[in-house]
Amino acid sequence: MLGFILSGDYPKSRVLTGILVAIVLGLAFAPFLFPGAAAINTAATICIFIVLVASYDLLLGYTGIVSFAHTMFFGIGGYGVGLALYGMNPTWGAVGIGLALALVIGVVLAFLIGLLSLRVRAIFYAMITLAVASAFLIMATQFSEYTGGEDGRSFRVPEVLRPGYRPFSGPILGLDITGRVLAYYLVFVAAIVLFLTALRVVNSPFGRVLQAIRENDMRAEALGYRVVYYRTVANCLAAAMAVLAGAMSALWVRYTGPDTTLSFAIMLNILLMVVIGGMGTMYGAIVGATLFVVAQNYLQKLMGTAAAATEGIPLLPKLLHPDRWLLLLGVLFILSVYFFPTGIVGRLRSSARKAD
Amino acid sequence: MTDVPAPAPSTEALPHLKSDYWPILLPIILAAAALPLVGNPTTWLTLTVAALAMGMMIFVIASGLTLVFGLMDVLNFGHGAFIAVGAYIAMSVLALLSGWMQVDSLAWNLAALGLAVAVAMVGTGLLGWAFERVIIMPVYGQHLKQILITMGGLIVAEQLIHVIWGGDQKSMPLPAGLRGAIVFGDFALEKFRLLAVAVGLVVFVSMTLVLNRTKIGLLIRAGVENSEMVEALGYRIRRLFVGVFVAGSALAGLGGVLWALYRETLTAAIGGDIMVLVFIVIIIGGLGSVGGCFLGAVLVAMMANYTAFLAPKIALASNILLMVAILMWRPQGLYPVAKR
């Protein structure tokens, strides 16, 4: 049963299993365990990024494609649902229409970019996607009469997901169940389903071909697999998943704007999460996203304390300034590319293998 | 009877290099096509000259990157960091020399600017040397890791800029002598643009000459073709390549100074903002070719300036279209580097 759910891809390390179980249980009971709007927001962000990072890992870790256009698809999902809810009544119908449109646009765009540039080398593809993604970002801010420009759009979500909605009269397990909690569980369940789907994909024969292409595309081609076909399909799948992550984000944040969905900073964050968590290991998405989002939210406070403690020492307080948290993660990123290229998850797995 | 032609005599074995002038016509065609769309000839001339100046700045920034890629097969996504660092160093130097900057004498202004540029180029060159030693050396020949690791280097460098110079936007005014314009009738030619064009041309000509007419250029090109052979002849090709990387970084620093002066403001993200155009330029140019990079920079700047005037909303998207169109015509870029 468990083997079916996880597609036979077990964590393969006791420590890793422990970490994953802790994260998943923590996320599953987040509204009950960690009261407060900030904590539940952190948990929802983790869920959204797990999906986004898993979909990116499908490209980077399993197929060996470096794309910088992943936030574009995330943004398409966010804008699709957001603008549909903004323009129409906030109903599930609007969500459905927006999502369907976003999926179609996202997949077609991924297909076109793929056709244009997946025949070329990794370096070419990375640059072309970077250019396309920034053009998309600028278009989204320029056509402000539709997209709200820099300000983005705030919108109302279906009634069931609003904070004012209360399905039960009293609290359950000490928690008032509001529409916000329901929205969290919608995001959580969607994240679980999408993550398991991604796990299914990479452990299917299709996923094995992708890994073969990553290892040696000439040899895969020689074995009779049409590399361009497989890469394009992987690209479209990852794009579709990123669109869904964007839709989840829109429903949770109730806002869509360039900074939260399209910006290059988010692309960098995704890259950091994939590499630190572990390229080519789906579980790396869970570990990486959790570590990163928690660091983003709590490392800053820690660094603020450290900076205050080192007051008077030259340079150190500046290095430990709360806004410099990305510096530490950047260094960690470089170190992981060198010393443990399969990230935290790969490291844990290989040390577990050695212990056996 | 066989119709097989006789093999060419071996004395003529050296193939004649085919001259390829078609891409050179592109900027002229583009400019000519824009004239009726823009309508007013004076406006068109202003736009075209502005595009040339912008193109030269983009070329200076992109030339280092394309050099490093073409010769060493390293794609440095951290190139944007050198742009920003160069600009910040120059800003610090110019702040020290503010007296020289405010004097209404072009000679003093240029001296201050020249000193700032020199310090900036030395600084970014040194940074490039450190970058090559620490970050890139272990990942030669691995494109995927190169992209990732240089991206990481970019993040760290940008954060260090914040640590050293602070996070807020800085202003970087032009020296007094370079402000304003020379006016011919209706047409105003900004002085700074003249300077940018001059610098760009000097960089282009000297790069072409060094690569094609000097022994160092010969060794570099030979090292790209067969580094073991050149090593066996007693030349330290690795050291030469590090020199190429340092030179490329210094050029990025120079470009950064120009770009920051052009915008007159400065943030740590300045490199990232221009990198998109730079990538389009080196893709159009053919990844590694100096001449292609030059043409690409001019084309991209022209396209950006004309569309910014005609249809501002699609300015950057138009460059993507330009790139797609050129790649349809020549999938390897305008002047592909023959080896790859």
* Mean pLDDT per 10-residue segment, chain A (356 residues): 82 90 94 87 95 95 91 96 92 94 96 79 82 89 86 89 83 82 94 95 94 90 91 94 96 91 90 91 94 87 81 76 83 87 87 78
For residue B138, list chain A residues with Cβ-Cβ distance below 8 A: 338
- The CA distance from B14 to B115, in Å, is 47
The pLDDT score that the predictor gives to residue B338 is: 58
0.90 surpassed by complex ipTM? no
What residue type is A92 in one-letter code?
W
Separation in Å, CA of A74 to nearest CA in chain B: 19
> Please, which residues have CB within 8 angstroms of residue A116's CB and are 6 or more apart in sequence?
A128, B324, B327
State the Rg of chain A over Cα: 21
Is there a contact between A132 and B160 if contact means CB atoms under 8 Å apart?
no
Does any CB of chain B come closer than 8 Å to the CB of residue A316? no
Whether residue B127 contacts residue B85, with contact meaning beta carbons closer than 8 Å, is answered with yes
Query: Tokens in use for A232?
Result: 């394009």
The pLDDT score that the predictor gives to residue A306 is: 83
CB–CB contacts below 8 A, A to B: 103
Q: Indicate the helix (H) or strand (E) that contains B171.
A: strand B170-171
Residue among A116, A126, A139 minimizing CB distance to B147: A126
φ/ψ (deg, to 5) at B266: -145, 125
Tell me the pLDDT tens digit for each residue of B270-325: 888 788 899 999 989 988 889 999 999 999 999 999 998 998 888 778 888 898 88
Query: Tokens in use for A306?
Result: 């450290």
Residue among B156, B167, B316 minimizing CB distance to A134: B316
The pLDDT score that the predictor gives to residue B1 is: 44
Q: Compute the average pLDDT of residues B105-115.
A: 87
For residue B151, list chain A residues with Cβ-Cβ distance below 8 A: 268, 271
Q: What pTM was estimated for this model as a whole?
A: 0.88
Query: Which residue of chain B is at minimal alpha-carbon distance from A135?
Result: B317
Q: ∠ CA(B45), CA(B199), CA(B176), 5° rounding?
A: 80
Pairing of strands B181-184, B187-190: antiparallel
Half-sphere exposure of A3 (CA within 13 A, CB side): 1
The pLDDT score that the predictor gives to residue A291 is: 92
Query: Tokens in use for A142?
Result: 């320029």
What domains are defined for chain B? 40-329 (1.10.3470)
What domains are defined for chain A? 2-355 (1.10.3470)
% residues pLDDT > 70 (chain B): 94
Is there a contact between B144 and A66 if contact means CB atoms under 8 Å apart?
yes
Query: Which residue of chain A is at minimal alpha-carbon distance from B149?
Result: A334
Q: Compute the average pLDDT of residues B116-133.
A: 94
The pLDDT score that the predictor gives to residue B261 is: 92
Is there a contact between A337 and B159 if contact means CB atoms under 8 Å apart?
no
Query: Which residue of chain A is at minimal alpha-carbon distance from B311?
Result: A142
Is there a contact between A337 and B152 if contact means CB atoms under 8 Å apart?
yes
Separation in Å, CA of B181 to nearest CA in chain A: 31
The pLDDT score that the predictor gives to residue B295 is: 94
Instruction: Please determine, for residue B253, whether its predicted confidence score (pLDDT) is greater than 90.
Output: yes
The pLDDT score that the predictor gives to residue B340 is: 44
The pLDDT score that the predictor gives to residue B102 is: 79
Separation in Å, CA of B159 to nearest CA in chain A: 6
Nearest to B44 by CA among B55, B54, B32: B32
Pairing of strands B265-266, B170-171: antiparallel
DSSP E strands in chain A: the ranges are 153-154, 255-256
For residue B155, list chain A residues with Cβ-Cβ distance below 8 A: 268, 272, 326-327, 329-330, 333
Query: Which residue of chain B is at minimal alpha-carbon distance from A318?
Result: B163
- The CA distance from B339 to B332, in Å, is 12
What residue type is B319 in one-letter code?
N
Nearest to A106 by CA among A126, A80, A85, A134: A80
Which DSSP letter does residue A324 get? Answer: G
- What length does chain B have? 340
Tell me the pLDDT tens digit for each residue of B161-201: 998 998 788 888 888 778 888 888 778 788 889 999 999 99
Query: Which residue of chain A is at minimal alpha-carbon distance from B280?
Result: A131
Exposed (0-12), middle (13-18) or buried (19+): which is A15, by Cβ within 10 Å?
middle
Half-sphere exposure of A98 (CA within 13 A, CB side): 30
For residue A66, list chain B residues with Cβ-Cβ distance below 8 A: 144, 147-148
Interface test with B, best of A65, A71, A123, A331 (most B CBs within 10 A): A123
Residue among A122, A272, A315 minimizing CB distance to B147: A122
Which DSSP letter does residue B176 get? Answer: G
| pLDDT range class, residue B3, cuts 50, 70, 90 | low
